[in-house]
Structure 1
Amino acid sequence: MAKKYDSIRWRQGRYRPRGANRKRKPPKPRPILDSLLAVGSVLLLALAVLTIATPFAVNLRVPVYLAYGLIMPLLAVVAIWLGPRDRNAIVVVGMIVFVWIGGATALYLARDKIKPASHYHHETKSKPETVTEDP
Structure 2
Amino acid sequence: MRSNRRRQEPFRPVGDTLIALGASLVAALIVFCLAVPVAVAYRIPVFLSFGGIMLFLTAATYRLGRKGQAGRVMAGIMAGVCVLVSGVLFLARDQLNFSTHNHPRPAASASAAER
TM-score normalised by L of structure 1: 0.64
Identity %: 34
Moved over 4 A (4+): 24-29, 121-124
Q: Measured at CA, do residues 108 and 29 of structure 1 come closer, stay the same or move farther in structure 2, by a change above 3 Å? A: closer
Could you say which residue in structure 1 is the equivalent of 2:42?
Answer: 60
Could you say which residue in structure 1 is the equivalent of 2:53?
Answer: 71
Name which of structure 1's ranges 86-95 and 46-55 shifts more when overlaid on structure 2: 86-95
Where relative contact order (Cα < 8 A, 6+ residues apart) is larger, the structure is 2
Map of 1:42-121 to 2, 5 A cutoff? 42-118=24-100
Give, in angstroms, the shift of residue 69 of structure 1: 1.3
Give CA-to-partner distance per residue, 1:87-131, whole Å, 9 cap, x none: 11111111111111111110000001111243xx8597xxxxxxx
- Structure with bigger gyration radius: 1
CA RMSD in angstroms, aligned pairs only: 2.4
2:15 paired with 1:33: yes
Instruction: Compare the two structures and name the one with the higher helix fraction.
Output: 2
Give CA-to-partner distance per residue, 1:17-75, whole Å, 9 cap, x none: xx64xxx9875654322221111000001111111000000111111011111111111
Unaligned runs of 5+ in 2: 105-115
Q: How far, CA to CA, are the matches of 2:11 and 2:71 in structure 1?
A: 15
Q: Measured at CA, do residues 27 and 100 of structure 1 come closer, stay the same or move farther in structure 2, by a change above 3 Å? A: closer
TM-score normalised by L of structure 2: 0.74
